């Protein structure tokens, strides 16, 4: 009811981070391309296997003049995996503590990025080389307000183009280009890659990059698979440049969640050159890469701690859209007031000074410290998750009408090929 929403509203405005004048509106009117980098973790960035860079293209972007690279960025996904990441990136709200929000709350009211941008004249589209019902995307995307959803039906899903869930990344981007070029500009789009998915095994001929030699199949193949993903991004950027879109498009790329689980800690210890992967290190391994390319804006390496819920306000502010009226729990990564306690879905958190794992608190060096030191941050993390859960579980955005926002009517959307 209305008292629920007032409480949430008060919490969110008390935590509002003002946009940074330097960047507010710096990308106004530009196209947006999101790329979900399947299972890509930050440890692979700048990693060398036998002296060879695994992700040479992404590594080169860190030094690109117009690219921000965030090296203390963490995934915050739960059981909804890729779809949880999508939800956080486009709503600045958390997925659910149990189950997938895409599956369980697709009928909710949302005020998602595509819907907000629709009011600014944007067209939106999602691209993914798997069938549209996976993760209930075909239902949740109506709620989010995607104009188009190019799923497996739009791609040549022949045997050589596919492995496990669907399209391999190189043909996926290749075949997406004409669809992308056909969109009315400005557009807001997302591309969800697939190849770098557990168990990471490659088909013969798809890469000449060597496998690792760490006595663990998934870990060994991860290097090949991540290299292939990197190569697909390089080719995509080339095509964007050729098409002329590159200079007029903000490109946000993020690792959706970890690829190598704790079950592989033994091999990971070898990969990282340590005796063992401790719980503290495992938490630090939840870093995923985040790149934001903004034409005409000088980028740099940003070491603020942040997570997936923080990206939407960051992007909105770059596009010159005020977020003050929206109920978003994240905070702009480029704001001077950005909050650096990053909650995980289970209530643990990381921050520059303290990390919470269960009942244990660690300092930046990974040494156990007194729990009292972390009490305030633990409370802040819990309050943030609680505010988000209230919104999602009680469908509170039904009762919230931001200034100038036109609500989405999900009946206006369908993703039946040939019908629009
Ligand atoms: C499937 C893709 C992978 O469509 O999003 O799913 P994941 O297992 O990573 O959530
Ligand atoms: Mn995924």
ipTM: 0.99
Ligand with an atom nearest the CA of residue 135: 1
What sign does the CA torsion over 361, 331, 18, 388 have?
A: negative
The answer to whether 82 is a known catalytic residue is: yes
Q: Which residues, including other chains, have CB under 8 Å from residue 242's CB and lie 6 or more apart?
A: none
134 C-beta closer than 6 A to ligand 1: yes
Report the distance separating Cα 176 and Cα 420, nearest Å: 18
132 C-beta closer than 6 A to ligand 1: no
Report the distance separating Cα 315 and Cα 24, nearest Å: 9
Q: Which residues, including other chains, have CB under 8 Å from residue 130's CB and lie 6 or more apart?
A: 151, 152, 165, 166, 167, 192, 194
Exposed/middle/buried for 199, CB within 10 Å: 0-12, 13-18, 19+?
A: exposed
85 C-beta closer than 6 A to ligand 1: no
Residue 349 β-bridge partners? 343, 356
Determine the atom of ligand 1 nearest the C-alpha atom of 256.
9
Nearest by Cα to 34 from 144, 137, 126, 145: 126
Q: Which of 81, 101, 218, 229 to probe ligand 1 with, by most ligand atoms within 8 A of CB?
A: 81
Q: Which of 127, 165, 254 to probe ligand 1 with, by most ligand atoms within 8 A of CB?
A: 165
- Would you give per-residue pLDDT tens digits along the chain (420 residues)? 778 999 999 999 999 999 999 999 999 999 999 999 999 999 999 999 999 999 999 999 999 999 999 999 999 999 999 999 999 999 999 999 999 999 999 999 999 999 999 999 999 999 999 999 999 999 999 999 999 999 999 999 999 999 999 999 999 999 999 999 999 999 999 999 999 999 999 999 999 999 999 999 999 999 999 999 999 999 999 999 999 999 999 999 999 999 999 999 999 999 999 999 999 999 999 999 999 999 999 999 999 999 999 999 999 999 999 999 999 999 999 999 999 999 999 999 999 999 999 999 999 999 999 999 999 999 999 999 999 999 999 999 999 999 999 999 999 999 999 875
pTM here is: 0.98
Q: Residue 409 C-alpha to ligand 1 middle, in angstroms?
A: 27
Q: Which residue among the candidates 55, 67, 77, 82 is catalytic per the annotation?
A: 82
Ligand with an atom nearest the CA of residue 102: 1
221 C-beta closer than 6 A to ligand 1: no
Q: Residue 82 C-alpha to ligand 2 middle, in angstroms?
A: 4
197 C-beta closer than 6 A to ligand 1: yes
72 C-beta closer than 6 A to ligand 1: no
């Amino acid at each position: 009811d209305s008292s629920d929403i007032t409480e949430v509203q008060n919490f969110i405005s008390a935590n509002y981070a003002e946009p940074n004048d330097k960047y507010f509106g710096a990308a106004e009117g530009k196209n947006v391309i999101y790329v979900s980098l399947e299972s890509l973790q930050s440890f692979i960035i700048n990693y060398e296997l036998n002296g060879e860079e695994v992700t040479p293209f992404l590594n080169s972007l860190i030094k690109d003049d117009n690219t921000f690279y965030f090296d203390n960025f963490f995934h915050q996904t739960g059981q909804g995996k890729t779809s949880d990441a999508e939800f956080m990136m486009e709503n600045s709200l958390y997925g659910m503590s149990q189950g997938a929000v895409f599956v369980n709350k697709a009928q909710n009211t949302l005020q998602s990025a595509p819907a907000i941008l629709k009011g600014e004249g944007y067209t939106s589209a999602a691209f993914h080389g798997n069938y549209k019902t996976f993760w209930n995307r075909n239902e949740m995307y109506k709620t989010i307000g995607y104009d188009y959803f190019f799923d497996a039906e739009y791609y040549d899903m022949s045997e050589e183009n596919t492995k496990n869930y669907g399209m391999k990344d190189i043909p996926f981007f290749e075949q997406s280009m004409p669809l992308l070029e056909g969109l009315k500009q400005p557009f807001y789009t997302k591309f969800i890659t697939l190849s770098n998915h557990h168990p990471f095994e490659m088909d013969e001929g798809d890469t000449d990059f060597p496998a690792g030699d760490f006595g663990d199949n998934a870990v060994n193949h991860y290097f090949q698979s991540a290299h292939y993903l990197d190569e697909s991004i390089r080719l995509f950027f080339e095509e964007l440049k050729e098409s002329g879109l590159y200079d007029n498009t903000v490109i946000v790329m993020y690792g959706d969640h970890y690829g190598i689980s704790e079950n592989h800690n033994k091999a990971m210890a070898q990969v990282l050159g340590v005796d063992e992967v401790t719980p503290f290190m495992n938490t630090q391994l939840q870093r995923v890469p985040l790149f934001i390319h903004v034409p005409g804006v000088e980028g740099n390496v940003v070491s603020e701690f942040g997570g997936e819920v923080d990206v939407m306000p960051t992007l909105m502010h770059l596009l010159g859209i005020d977020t003050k009226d929206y109920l978003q729990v994240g905070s702009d990564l480029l704001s001077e007031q950005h909050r650096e306690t990053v909650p995980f879905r289970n209530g643990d958190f990381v921050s520059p000074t303290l990390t919470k794992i269960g009942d244990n608190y660690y300092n930046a060096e990974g040494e156990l410290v007194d729990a009292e030191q972390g009490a305030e941050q633990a409370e802040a993390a819990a309050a943030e998750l609680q505010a988000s859960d209230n919104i999602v579980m009680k469908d509170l955005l039904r009762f919230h009408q931001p200034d100038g926002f036109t609500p989405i009517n999900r009946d206006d959307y369908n993703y039946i090929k040939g019908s629009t």
